[in-house]
Structure 1
């Protein structure tokens, strides 16, 4: 797969749609993998978070054809900060004993998505600047 903003946005949209629907339809799935006891409040928070995952999926799918711009940069920066924060929190929960090693799969995916978007943003910004300079 060619790594560019369009492909990464589509991949991210699909991942977030899957996460959103998994949390809505099977809210005990992820907590059980992470070694977190499932309860109704955990499910409630998970289902509410699912709406945000689906919304992020819609944003990335809608923005998949966006050219380098301040809006696309804002989307990438916000998503990168969110992914790195989630990854950091996952490591923290593991180290403090609140989650088991199953959470590392989520941490790795979050870190990989953040890194991929940083790389694509740098490539896209560089090619956009080169095009501006040659015009």
Structure 2
């Protein structure tokens, strides 16, 4: 299956924008689904995470029409690695009892996102810098 980089960036960017809005305004939605209580500390981290997701959404929106390049591949690989690590951390937190089984849905989305990003830049080799 060949995924177009433009399409993957559009969908992942939209997901990041949605996460920005959720983490900024209603972080309890995700925290409750993960069986994690809301506190001033989790609220602080949620709002800071919202800023990171907004930045990622902007990068993907601006990068989606870029021609194949080492830079485009590096950004996709970097965010794919971030998603894979988040998935592993989520599973670890569930195993340790710090998060409930609801975090599995996040881990599945993160793994799929990592795969989609890597797949979208691997169907055609990027030119060297």
TM (norm. structure 1) is 0.89
Q: Which residue of 2 aligns with 1:46?
A: 46
Cα deviation for residue 73 of structure 1 reads 1.0
Q: CA offsets, 1:65-106, max 9 Å, x none?
A: 011101101101110110000000000001111100100010
Q: Where has structure 1 moved over 4 Å in runs of 4 or more?
A: none
Q: Which residue of 2 aligns with 1:133?
A: none
Cα deviation for residue 3 of structure 1 reads 2.4
Do the aligned residues in 1 keep the contact of 2:91 with 2:104 (CA within 8 Å)? Answer: yes
Structure showing greater relative contact order (alpha-carbon pairs closer than 8 Å, 6 or more residues apart) = 2
Report the Cα distance in structure 1 between the residues aligned to 2:110 and 2:60, rounded to whole angstroms: 15
Report the Cα distance in structure 1 between the residues aligned to 2:10 and 2:78, rounded to whole angstroms: 17
TM (norm. structure 2) is 0.93
Give the length in aligned residue pairs: 126
Do the aligned residues in 1 keep the contact of 2:36 with 2:98 (CA within 8 Å)? Answer: yes
Report the Cα distance in structure 1 between the residues aligned to 2:51 and 2:4, rounded to whole angstroms: 26
Do the aligned residues in 1 keep the contact of 2:16 with 2:56 (CA within 8 Å)? Answer: yes
SS at the partner of 1:66? coil
Report the Cα distance in structure 2 between the residues aligned to 1:9 and 1:29, rounded to whole angstroms: 25
Q: How well do the aligned residues superpose, as a CA RMSD in angstroms? A: 1.3
Report the Cα distance in structure 1 between the residues aligned to 2:38 and 2:124, rounded to whole angstroms: 42
Cα deviation for residue 35 of structure 1 reads 0.3
| More helix by percentage | 1
Q: Which residue of 1 aligns with 2:90?
A: 90
The structure having more radius of gyration, on CA atoms, is 1
Unaligned runs of 5+ in 2: none
1:1-135 correspondence runs (5 A):
3-125=3-125
Do the aligned residues in 1 keep the contact of 2:31 with 2:37 (CA within 8 Å)? Answer: yes
